[in-house]
Structure 1
Amino acid sequence: MQVAVNYANDYSDGRRGTDADRVGPMRLVGSGAAAPREVLVAALLSFAVAGVAGLVLAALSSWWLVAVGAVCIAAAWTYTGGPLPYGYRALGEVFVFVFFGLVAVVGTTFVQTRTLEGLAFAVSVPIGLLIVAILVVNNLRDLAGDAEVGKRTLAVLLGDRATRLLFAGLFVVAFAVIAAVGVTRPWALLGLLAAPLAVAPVRTVLSGGRGPALIGALQGAGLVTLATGVLLGAGLALS
């Protein structure tokens, strides 16, 4: 699904001309490296593979997952595709939190335990917020270009300074929630060991970094998310 939404975004943004003066990593359609149709086919094939895997999970756990998967595919496509893409209306962060936090963590727990556990909802919050931080710094990097072509991301709506503060705040809240979970599950505090990794990207963003510097902050945010997921998962297993 992640691969599919990246191809879908590449296709839709490229067709709209959003990536014409992109600062970040190269996009296929925007750079002319691939034809729009080729990227669309790649997106559809990725959705198909995800759908098959989802059907297997549904057969082994609950057929309600088919409905969840259908909603996920719809959300992935309409992020930047369709007549009313919500990513162009400052709603990208909300949907990323829901699908990469709540749906991903609670859904993963459900297919293994067949239950909707309160703990799963709790730990989905820091994971969702950290992935939102990845999107926030990505949109901060593209703020000027997005504003120019009418792509109203949350960064465009909030402005440069507020977006930088939001980025830092997401890390603070994410690790605060992990600390709160640690009150009843002490081993979950292992997740806090990832916090020092957030210092570099937060410093870069708060110090006014732009362009290539924000690509480094984007990579740093991804590393924090990976480390937190591994450490928090290990802590919950030990609990």
Structure 2
Amino acid sequence: MQTQMHTNIPPTKSKDWRVWWQLTRPHTLTAAFVPVLLGTALALQDTSIRFGLFFAMLIASLLIQAATNMFNEYYDFKRGLDNEESVGIGGAIVRDGIQPKTVLKLALSLYGISILIGVYICMNSSWWLALIGIICMVVGYLYTGGPLPIAYTPFGEIAAGFFMGMLIILISFYIQTGTVTDTSVLVSVPILILVGGILLANNIRDLDGDKEFGRKTLAILIGRKGAIRLLAGMFIVSYAWVFILIAMNIISPWLAIVVLSGPKAIKATKGFIGKTIPIQMMPAMKATAQTNTIFGFLLSIGLFLGYFL
């Protein structure tokens, strides 16, 4: 049996497609899909959609998100954070016997494919996006890689929200319109907050284990109760932000449809209260991710309705 750090790699089990699919942590991929859809829906207000660029941006974003998850899997294993009982991980290494180097190579391969797709996007928009794309990929790697992973600091929520939320929306908008507008920035703010909220929920769930391994996440610094209050506040600000933009006549009243996602936000917040065992908090973690997904979809639908009606 091969051993690395303090964690044993079990004998290799069945390596069918479900193992590899779970390695991507599919429940997180909507965090990449929603911003691309929203940025494109925003662009529809100003131009006709170039679907080749839309699908290229969508695929590249999903691949980068999946690769980031694989880097997370690899480096958390290397540092001894993951074991067979760990909650919320892909588990390809500690449960399914996939070799760590295989996971790392796969992540780098997805980055390579993303770069090729990025070349196509740049050829049809602007080569300045190459620099921005490289920065996004470096941040994705440094999230759990490098000497001081971003995920181990209080800045993980901000980094995730900005790079995997706001920036993807603005790039998706830019490749369609050739510009970035005040409205596109303002509409992207709630998604920035909600993507950051997904990470905060993850850190609330993992608070005790992260503290044991010396992490300094925001949830650890402000405590479990403070982190739950912050998460609730992030939900409130996200919804309030949309209604403020409607009141200021910046966006269509159709975007008020986001209130339909409210029950998920309430479920997410209540699901953390009084819980300390990670597995007990998984429904709340899932509800947080679903809030971002449904909220983003509804924002996009509101933009489509405002455009066509």
Fold match by TM threshold 0.5 = yes
**Taking structure 2 as the reference length, what is the TM-score of the superposition?**
0.74
Q: Do the aligned residues in 2 keep the contact of 1:17 with 1:30 (CA within 8 Å)?
A: no
Structure 1 residue identity aligned to 2:75:
S
**1:33 & 1:117 partners in 2: Cα distance?**
48
**Contact residue 88 and residue 152 of structure 1 kept, 8 A:** yes
Alignment partner, residue 15 of structure 1: 78
| 1:187 paired residue number | 254
2:115 is paired with a residue whose SS is helix
Cα drift, residue 224 of structure 1: 1.2
* Residues 1:75 and 2:142 aligned together: no
- 1:211 equivalenced with 2:254 (yes/no): no
Residues 204-213 or 169-178, more deviating: 204-213
Match of 1:148 in 2: 212
Partner residue in 1 for 2:49: none
**Bigger relative contact order, structure 1 or 2, given CA contacts below 8 A and separation 6+?**
2
Give the conservation status (yes or no) of the 8 Å contact 2:156–2:217. yes
Runs of 4+ with >6 A deviation: none
Report the counterpart of residue 237 of structure 2 in structure 1: 173
Q: What letter is aligned with 1:18?
A: L
Q: 1:26 & 1:61 partners in 2: Cα distance?
A: 35
Question: What TM-score do the two structures reach when normalised by structure 1?
Answer: 0.94
Whether contact under 8 Å (2:205, 2:285) holds in the other structure is: no
Matching of residues 38-49 of structure 1 within 5 Å:
38-49=102-113
Does 1:54 find its partner at 2:118? Answer: yes
Residue-pair matches, total:
239
The residue type equivalent to 1:200 in the other structure is K
Gaps of 5+ in 2: 1-63
Pick one of 97, 105, 109 that aligns with 1:33. Answer: 97
* Cα distance in 1 between the residues matched to 2:195 and 2:91: 20
Computing the radius of gyration from Cα coordinates, the structure with the larger value is: 2
Structure 1, gaps ≥5 residues long: none
Compare the two structures and name the one with the higher helix fraction. Answer: 1
How much does 1:237 deviate? 2.5
The residue number in structure 2 matching 1:95 is 159
**Please, which of 258, 264, 267 is the counterpart of residue 200 of structure 1?**
267
Say whether the 8 Å CA contact 2:73–2:89 is kept in structure 1.
no
Amino acid corresponding to residue 193 of structure 1 in structure 2: L
> Within 5 A, what are the aligned runs for 1:116-131?
116-131=180-195
Taking the aligned partners of 2:293 and 2:225, their CA distance within structure 1 comes to 27
Residue by residue over 1:124-144, the C-alpha shift from the partner in whole angstroms, topping out at 9 and shown as x without a partner, is 111111111111111111111
Residue identity matched to 2:263: P
1:190-237 CA-to-partner distances (Å, cap 9, x unmatched) read 222212221211111234464223111111112111111111012122
Distance 1:30 1:123 in 2: 40
Query: Identity over the aligned pairs, expressed in percent?
Result: 33
